[in-house]
């Protein structure tokens, strides 16, 4: 009579007498007792009196829908599996054995409150919400590959085992504070971004605290054991910053847990102890004063905005059991702070002065006529520049510049010479500054710059001259960090307008002359923004104010006629001063959410004194060679400091 297992049963109307249908035994006092393991497919209506299913040591399944306003009680050892989305509204009570919702598929649910004094198993492959309260002394096992959402106020005291899939809280304190929670490898316990309190925790899998407002807590009233598990939290910049955090209350945190921290909302400096990510209360211990190994980032640091964030055990004084995130500037910061200044100094090296560019233009003696022929000229440029910037990271840089410049006159008459030039300059720069929690090497840039310039020089009969120059530069920059093979390309374009004036004054009837000079230079630059690889994929954008540079100088010259041609040596002293009150600003912003925006500035202003020796040698009337070697010194003060360890140029002019 196996077909009787599909009979329609009103459990609330069963009487005390036992009716045997094959191996199925039903108790007429309200109990449906299984005599062996098999499944039923018929729907069951639970009326107000409710009904009891006694599995009697068997593993059975009810595949039909259980409906009605009655309650369901599960007794007997063995497992009762409900494979339909049931609609009865009464309380479900587990007295013995296991009650399983689903068998790995997409159905199997109940909607009311649950009194769990045995084991409640959830085995679904999709989303299941349990809206009722779960109470009792029993256990809850999450076993399916799907997600189970606990929506009620749960107070059960048995173990919560998250064996696979996801067990998620749907509100604050939805997880049972009386339950010890075990998260197996590959499984997820999700607080939904709300604060929860639980008993002890064993974490082999992943516990997620992210999802809501940053600052939620998981309070463990007992021991927390990390078995290479992961704790997902998020941090947000305020003052001093806030993060989701694990709170160990009175117990101990041991083992190893990796903190997977979403830093996409960070990007400012931390203050004091930093941002708390693990908190120890009421005598709890976390290895912060011993082995310092209960928690790790899984990496040396995390990057966001202009900063690196590192995990520290104990507070800033080394005391306590809490764990913190603390920020320091990332290595890229000194490099970006110095980038625009490096390019401006390279532009000035290419611009030079009139005599650096083409040697002496005209003898100071008015009795010597000017040759009106055109000319081709070329020179080699070398310079070593050291900069100490007035910025947040006390950036210092050392640049080595080498390049070739060539020009040609396109027009000349008695007073004017006008022409164009082009230049290729290589600038290799090492940077150091405050970064990574200390002070040291920061990065390196290799800049291949191409220039195009035009000049128009007017010279009066008395030697007074006005030299006008316009110059454009294109900078192809590779920026690399120590230990990294990746490079960034904050390429730039630069522009210069320069006016230089000077006049030689012959000293009596001698071959000596004193030549005061003045030069006014305007500089503009812009650079491509770049995305720095890392946790927050931060965009760095350099914005440089226009700079106005002034130079006052004096040149002492003489002239010697030799059997090998005329030599005109000179010594020159310059005062370089930035006249504009500008700065270079680098803005860092996390591209994922435009958070963590930080702008850091570097003062452009500087003052330097330069001393140089040079000479022009007229080997023949058609060929001249010229050279200069100089050194500049920083003038001190609170501004940025720029000095050239050595600068030099060697050139040749050929008249045609």
* Residues listed for the chain: 656
- The H-or-E segment that residue 347 falls in is helix 332-351
Q: Is the pLDDT of residue 602 over 70?
A: yes
pLDDT, one tens digit per residue, over 34-72 is: 877 677 888 888 888 888 999 999 999 999 999 999 999
Q: Is the pLDDT of residue 4 over 80?
A: no
- CB-based contact 128:101 (threshold 8 Å): yes
Q: Is the pLDDT of residue 31 over 90?
A: no
- Mean pLDDT to the nearest integer, 592-610: 89
Three-state DSSP class for 23? coil
CA distances from residue 641 to 171, 391, 436, 607, 631 in whole angstroms, order as listed:
58, 11, 24, 7, 14
- CB-based contact 209:191 (threshold 8 Å): yes
Residues 75, 241: Cα–Cα separation, whole Å: 52
pLDDT of residue 30: 67
Q: Which of 352, 430, 307, 345 is nearest to 640 (CA)?
A: 345
- Structural tokens at position 269: 């400096």
pLDDT, one tens digit per residue, over 142-179 is: 999 999 999 999 999 999 999 999 999 999 999 999 99
Residues 89, 72: Cα–Cα separation, whole Å: 9
Kindly give the pairing relationship between strand 98-101 and strand 79-82: parallel
- Structural tokens at position 633: 């010194």
Q: Which of 125, 75, 76, 119 is nearest to 102 (CA)?
A: 125
Residues 74, 119: Cα–Cα separation, whole Å: 10
- Mean pLDDT to the nearest integer, 440-451: 96
- CB-based contact 435:330 (threshold 8 Å): yes
pLDDT of residue 609: 97
CA distances from residue 244 to 210, 211, 300 in whole angstroms, order as listed:
7, 10, 20
pLDDT, one tens digit per residue, over 489-499 is: 999 999 999 99
Backbone angles phi, psi at 422, to 5 degrees: -135, 155
Q: Which one is predicted more confidently, 480 or 298?
A: 480
pLDDT, one tens digit per residue, over 545-581 is: 999 999 999 999 999 988 888 999 999 999 999 999 9
> pLDDT grade, residue 23 (50/70/90)?
very low
pLDDT of residue 29: 40
Could you give the maximum distance between any two Cα atoms of the chain, in Å?
A: 143
Q: Which of 258-272, 319-333, 584-598 has maximum average pLDDT? A: 319-333
pLDDT, one tens digit per residue, over 400-423 is: 999 999 999 999 998 999 999 999
How crowded is the C-beta side of 393, counted as CA atoms within 13 Å? 34
Q: Is the pLDDT of residue 13 over 50?
A: no
Q: Which of 644, 652, 651, 565 is nearest to 612 (CA)?
A: 644
CB neighbours of residue 120 within 10 Å: 26
Kindly give the pairing relationship between strand 565-578 and strand 583-590: unpaired
> pLDDT grade, residue 25 (50/70/90)?
very low
Q: Residue 532: which residues within 8 A CB-CB, separation 6 or more? A: 303, 330, 332, 488, 538, 539, 540
pLDDT of residue 473: 98
pLDDT of residue 76: 95
Q: Which of 287, 257, 289, 261 is nearest to 275 (CA)?
A: 261
Q: What is the pTM of this model?
A: 0.84
Q: Which one is predicted more confidently, 535 or 285?
A: 285
> pLDDT grade, residue 653 (50/70/90)?
very high
For CATH 2.40.128.130, the residue range(s) in the chain are 332-655
Unique residue bearing structure tokens 């769990």: 116
pLDDT of residue 362: 57
- CB-based contact 628:297 (threshold 8 Å): no
Q: Which of 617, 635, 634 is nearest to 626 (CA)?
A: 617
Q: What is the CATH number of domain 332-655?
A: 2.40.128.130
User: Cα-atom radius of gyration of the chain, to the nearest Å?
Assistant: 41
pLDDT of residue 98: 97
Q: Is the pLDDT of residue 11 over 50?
A: no
- CB-based contact 193:174 (threshold 8 Å): no
- The H-or-E segment that residue 345 falls in is helix 332-351
pLDDT of residue 534: 75
> pLDDT grade, residue 536 (50/70/90)?
confident
Q: Which one is predicted more confidently, 638 or 498?
A: 498
3-state secondary structure 284-319: CECCCCCCCCCEECCCCCEEECCEEEEEEECCCCCC
172: Cα separation from own chain's centroid: 31
């Amino acid at each position: 009579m196996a077909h009787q297992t599909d009979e329609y049963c009103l459990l609330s109307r069963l009487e005390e007498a036992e009716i045997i249908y094959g191996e199925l035994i039903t108790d007429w006092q309200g109990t449906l007792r299984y005599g062996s393991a098999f499944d039923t497919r018929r729907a069951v209506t639970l009326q107000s009196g409710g009904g009891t299913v006694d599995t009697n040591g068997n593993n059975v399944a009810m595949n039909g829908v259980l409906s009605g306003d009655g309650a369901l009680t599960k007794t007997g050892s063995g497992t009762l599996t409900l494979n339909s989305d049931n609609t009865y509204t009464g309380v479900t009570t587990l007295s013995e054995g296991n009650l399983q919702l689903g068998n790995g598929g997409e159905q199997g649910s109940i909607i009311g409150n649950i009194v769990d004094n045995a084991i409640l198993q959830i085995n679904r492959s999709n989303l299941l919400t349990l809206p009722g309260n779960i109470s009792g002394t029993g256990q809850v096992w999450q076993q399916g590959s799907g997600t189970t959402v606990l929506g009620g106020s749960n107070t059960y005291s048995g173990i919560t085992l998250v064996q696979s899939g996801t067990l998620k809280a749907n509100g604050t304190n939805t997880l049972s504070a009386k339950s010890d929670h075990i998260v197996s490898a590959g499984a997820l316990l999700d607080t939904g971004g709300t604060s929860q309190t639980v008993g002890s925790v064993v974490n082999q899998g992943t516990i997620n605290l992210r999802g809501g407002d940053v600052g939620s807590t998981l309070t463990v009233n007992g021991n927390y054991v990390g078995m290479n598990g992961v704790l997902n939290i998020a941090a947000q910049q305020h003052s001093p910053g806030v993060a989701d955090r694990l709170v160990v209350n009175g117990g101990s945190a041991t083992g190893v847990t990796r903190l997977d921290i979403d830093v996409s909302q960070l990007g400012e400096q931390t203050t004091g102890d930093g941002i708390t990510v693990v908190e120890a209360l009421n005598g709890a211990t976390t290895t912060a004063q011993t082995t310092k190994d209960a928690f790790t980032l899984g990496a040396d640091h995390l990057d966001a905005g202009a900063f690196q964030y590192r995990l520290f055990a104990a507070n800033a004084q080394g005391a306590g059991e809490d764990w913190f995130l603390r920020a320091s500037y990332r290595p890229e910061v000194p490099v970006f702070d110095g980038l625009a200044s490096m390019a401006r100094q390279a532009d000035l090296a290419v611009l030079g002065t009139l005599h650096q560019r083409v040697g002496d233009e005209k003898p100071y003696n008015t009795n010597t006529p000017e040759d009106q022929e055109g000319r081709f000229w070329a020179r080699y440029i070398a310079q070593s520049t050291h900069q100490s910037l007035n910025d947040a990271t006390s950036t210092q840089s050392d640049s080595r510049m080498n390049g070739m410049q060539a020009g040609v006159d396109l027009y000349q008459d008695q007073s004017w010479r006008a022409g164009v030039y082009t230049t290729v300059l290589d600038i290799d720069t090492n940077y150091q500054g405050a970064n990574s929690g200390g002070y040291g090497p920061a990065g390196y840039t290799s800049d291949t710059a191409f220039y195009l310039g035009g000049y128009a020089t007017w010279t009066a009969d008395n030697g007074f001259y006005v030299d006008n120059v316009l110059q454009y530069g294109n900078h192809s920059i590779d920026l690399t960090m120590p230990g990294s093979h990746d490079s960034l390309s904050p390429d730039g374009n630069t522009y210069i307008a320069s006016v230089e004036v000077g006049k030689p004054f012959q000293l009596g009837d001698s071959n000596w002359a004193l030549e005061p000079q003045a030069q006014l230079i305007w500089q503009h630059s812009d650079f491509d923004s770049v995305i720095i690889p890392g946790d927050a994929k931060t965009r760095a954008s350099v914005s440089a104010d226009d700079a106005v540079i002034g130079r006052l100088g004096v040149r002492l010259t003489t002239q010697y006629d030799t059997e090998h041609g005329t030599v005109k040596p000179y010594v020159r002293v310059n005062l370089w001063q930035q006249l504009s009150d500008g700065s270079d600003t680098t803005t860092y912003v996390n591209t994922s959410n435009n958070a963590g925006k930080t702008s850091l500035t570097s003062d452009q202003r500087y003052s330097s004194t330069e001393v140089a020796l040079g000479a022009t040698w007229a080997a023949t009337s058609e060929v001249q060679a010229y050279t200069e070697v100089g050194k500049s010194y920083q003038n001190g003060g609170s501004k940025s400091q720029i000095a050239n360890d050595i600068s030099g140029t060697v050139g040749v002019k050929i008249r045609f």
